Structures are given as C-alpha cells and as structure tokens.
Structure 1
C-alpha cells in the first residue's frame, strides 16, 4: 500500500490540476445526458449517464451515494470534474430510493446495495457509448465500503476504485453510536423488521438536532449531512438499519480487490474510526492511502478539501483508466 501524507496530497493536487487542465483543452466543453437505468433484482435502478462531447467511447466512472442519500445529493461537483477530464460518468440510485423501483422504500442495507452496484457494473460495461474495458467505480461513506465489495466481486471488470471516507466495519461504527440511544434504536428496529415488504417501514430521521434520535449521530453529522440534501429531500430511513449495519464488514473484501484502489480518509471522522480505514487500506493489493489531516467525515464534499480530493481522484482515474 502506498500512503500519501498531507504534503504529498498538495503535490498530487497540483499535478492533477495540470492533467485536468490539459484534458479540458482537448475536450470540448459540455456533456450530454442519457438515460442509463438498468435492471436489478426484478426491478429497475434509476441512472443517468453523462457523456463528454467530442470524446469517442470514453472510459466510464460509475458513482452512487452513501447512507440514505440520492445521486443528486452532492455528487454533481465530482461528476462535473470527471466529465470535464474526458470520462463518461454514471450516477445511480439504489433500489427503494429516488426514482428507482423496489419495495419497501428507503431501506439502507449494504449487502443489497452491493447487488445494485454489481448490476450497474455489468450493465454499464455493455453500453455502446463507452469503453467498458476501462470502467472505474467511485463511492463515498457507506458506498465507499460497498465499492470494495463490488470490485472484489467483479475482478477484471472494475479497473479502478475510488473509496472516499469509507464505511469499513459495522461494529466499529456502531460502537460510536451513543449508548443512551441504543434501547430505543433496537426497539424501533425490531418493530420495523416485523413489517412485511408490502407495509411501510418504521422510519427514523437520518439526522436530527443534538440530543434527538437519529440514524447518524456525530459532532459533524447534522450540519455536514444537511449541506448535501437539497430542498425537499427526505430525512428518513427504515429503522431496521440499526440491526443490520453493525453486522456488515465491507473492509473484509479489501484483500480480494484486484484493481488499483485509492482510499481517502478523514483524520477526525466522527462516524467512521480512521484506524479501521487505515487497517483496511493496508490490506489492498494495489492500494494508495491519503489521510486528510484535521478533516471530518463531510469535509471532502465542499471547500478547499473538495478541490484537493477531486483533483487527486481525477488524476488517479486518468492514470488507471
């Protein structure tokens, strides 16, 4: 595993800016958007493909969001940078979210989300508009762990993996949840798991004000997550996540990933212990690890750190796709 400290990240950012600038000079401005929805588990996942104008059969990057989120929540700035650099970009929503099919709605389940990832990879690889032999995947937070599992399940197909502030261990993350909230969380989860697929789940807020019950509780959670949600966006997920999340360990797939993998972690992540991310990155066969000093879980999505992170990710995809 190659580890890059803060000074190294600054250097890499400068270099990637040159690469992106060069790509913009060669790529006509703008992109076309086409429907890229695909079949998965007897329903359809909603997806869109951005195609850079003037580029014939570009390499493609598949993206999906993290915990309870939709493809339109904060991913556009990343997608824009990638498409400006000459990549096709596909953003999709999991079953039960957004315009995707599937019942029940708003159920966060990592193992089920991975099935959506694998279906997306298979479908996009076969699309005639892109070069399916140069396919990368990008995930963040909860999906940052999912991309590790999906890459392990599609060796030889996935050629590059970008994993941002990744969820790697359900137990480690669960241990950060306030112990005073556990009795209520377990009660709500049990009630929800007794519902049939045709019934509406028992929902809990994704974020809430300090002291209130929510699925995500950390110092930066309320403000950081809220910045990603557009007006009218939902703020709830099925409560069963409290009983499924602690028993999922996507980091265990790290040593099975064949593709080059970039892991970007946040030193002061309030949701995901950075020590677990370091350990996971160390198991990658072709891993590159960047730790953002002083950053919290939501720092990569905006501000100065966004520029550094997206620059590094763009350079990584250009090198490997």
Structure 2
C-alpha cells in the first residue's frame, strides 16, 4: 500500500510539522515529521531521528524537550503512533505485543527513509523505556543506520517482572489470562496509577510524570492498556540482540529505575565495540524532567555530535 500525500501544518511557525500516515500490517498509522525550520533542506537531505515511544506512549507525551533539542541540533525528527494507539487506526485499542511493535518500527523507518527532505543514510533511532528495547531490536537489523539512542530502556523483561511486587504480579496474571479470551473487547487496566494502586506502572512517580507530560503537551491521553499486554513482558528480552548491533549505540540507564532495571555491567559485556552506556542518578521517569533532563540531553547531544563528526 502507498501512503497518502503528507499534509503540512503550522506553516507560519518553527519548527515545521509535516503530518502523514503510513501502513503497518494493513493499519493506517499517524506520523509527524518536524523540521528545523520552514523549508530547511540540504543538498543531500537532512539527518533524521526516528522516535520510538515506550509502553503506553503516544505522540506528544513526554517527548517535547527532546524534539526541540534535536531540531536545534539540525535533525529532522519523526514521531508516530503504534496501531491502536493515539491518532492511529486499529482495533482492539491500546494492546501491546512487543514483537508486532518491532514490526511497526520497521514500517515507520521505511516511511521516514521515503521522505524527500531526509538523508536515508543519516538516520538515528531513538527510543525510550519499552521503546528502547524496540530500538535495540531494530538497530541489530540495520547496520546501514547512523546510530541509535535508548534512554531508560527495557532490555530484559525477566528483570522487569522480578521488580514487580508479588501481589501485583499475581493480579496481572489473573487479569491478563482472562483478557486473552476476550478477543476484540479487552479488559483494560490503567497504564499508570498512583503508588500502590492497580496499574501497569505505579512506581517511580509514573502517574505524576504522565500527568505533567500531557499537561505540558496539551494533549488528551487514554490511560488504558489491555490486560493481555502484561503477559508479554517477561518473554521480551531485546538484551539478547545487543551483540548483533553494528552501529554506534548509546544506552542511558537510571540508577534507581525500578520499572526497567539497568544492569550496566551485563550490558557492556555483550557488545564493547558498538555499545556505550551512561548512567544517571534517577528513577525511571525523572530523566524526562529537570533537573535530570539537562544531563540526559547533554549525553545524547554529545553522542549525536560524535556521529556527525565520524561521518565527515
């Protein structure tokens, strides 16, 4: 299937946002391409960053400061919504299957490469949280890319499951198994919840972070995820693909992360040639906000600068 023609919006402001759609598994997905300035181009196209959202992530939520920083650094930035999430089509809504999501990232990457203003040889993958795992999976399959960044990445579902309190784990299992028999009418649980309340993420200030993120972005958020989704976490282990990565990759972990524990030594031992790590003293959600955001962005911008320098 070919994608319909892109629609340009906000032509009187900077950055320029180009809205478009692409198809993944036959489902129409929404995408936005942000450009450094109206009409900004180079003779061989702009370097670009494909942003891969996390567990319950949608376009606009928690990514604004990163988009602004990358655009200021001269990159085009593309965001997208997974099928069944945000502005994308697809039923049932708000279901997560990590294997299918990696396929969605592949479709988004193909779409980005097709944009006339983008240099397809200078694309960087960027992922956060669960999406950081998708970036590792995708990077391992694309040695032609310029590089990859994953912040607070969920690299090992087994470690993530071990961090969940037992009573919550049992409740997730009961809801998830029941939901598997519901077909296109899922049983939903909250994506984020207050500490101690039932939701797929109730730790590390998850609810406060999402509320701040959507308020800053000025968007509405459907705080639901199909319960069957939680059954996929333990089986998802992108850490096994780290050794296959052949492009410069930056992984940024948080020292107090209880949502996606970051085992730095284990990670570094799997690929010393292409993967570098940085640590931030933070929980899972603090790197999205100040005062931790500045350090997080500094690591990422320094890495992007090194990619540009090595390419010249």
Q: TM-score w.r.t. structure 1 length?
A: 0.85
Of 8, 16, 21, the residue aligned with 1:37 is 21
Q: Structure 1, unaligned stretches of length 5 or more? A: 1-28
State which of 98, 112, 127 in structure 2 corresponds to 1:110.
98
- Give the C-alpha shift of residue 178 in structure 1: 1.2
Query: Could you say what secondary structure the match of 1:134 adopts?
Result: strand
Q: Which moved more, 1:175-184 or 1:67-76?
A: 175-184
C-alpha deviation, 1:45, in angstroms: 1.6
Deviation at 1:242, TM superposition (A): 2.2
2:229 is aligned to 241
Equivalent residue, structure 1, for 2:179: 192
**1:292 & 1:213 partners in 2: Cα distance?**
28
Confirm or deny that 1:227 pairs with 2:212.
yes
Q: CA deviation at 1:271?
A: 1.0
Instruction: Say if 1:140 and 1:281 are closer, same or farther in 2 by CA, change over 3 A.
Output: farther
The structure with the greater share of residues assigned to helix is 1
Q: What is the Cα deviation at residue 219 of structure 1? A: 4.1
* Conserved 8 A contact 1:51-1:83: yes
How far, CA to CA, are the matches of 2:229 and 2:268 in structure 1? 25
Q: How many matched pairs? A: 288
For residues 28-177 of structure 1, the aligned pairs below 5 Å read 30-53=14-37, 54-56=40-42, 57-156=45-144, 158-177=145-164
**3-state secondary structure, aligned to 1:296:** coil
2:190 to 205, 217, 229: 205
Question: Residues 133-186 of structure 1, C-alpha deviation per residue, up to 9 Å, x if partnerless?
Answer: 100010011101110001112222x22100101001111101111101233211
Match of 1:291 in 2: 279
Q: Secondary structure at 1:97's aligned position in 2?
A: coil
- Report the secondary structure of 1:180's partner residue: helix
TM-fit CA distance, 1:187: 1.5
1:181 corresponds in structure 2 to: 168
Aligned alpha-carbon RMSD (Å) = 1.7
Per-residue CA deviations over 1:87-124 (Å, capped at 9, x if unaligned) read: 10001111110111221110122111111111111121
Q: C-alpha offsets along residues 202-227 of structure 1, whole Å, 9 cap, x if unaligned?
A: 10011223332111132433333433
Structure with greater contact order relative to length (CA < 8 Å, sep ≥ 6): 1
Find the aligned partners of 2:196 and 2:274 in 1 and give their Cα distance. Answer: 42
Could you list the structure 1 runs, at least 4 aligned residues long, displaced by more than 3 angstroms after superposition: 229-232
> For residues 213 and 68 of structure 2, what CA distance do their matches in structure 1 show?
16
Partners of 2:141 and 2:163 in 1: CA distance: 29
Query: Normalized against structure 2, the TM-score is what?
Result: 0.87
Q: Distance in 2 between matches of 1:135 and 1:181?
A: 40
Tell me, which stretches of 5 or more residues in structure 2 are unaligned? 1-12
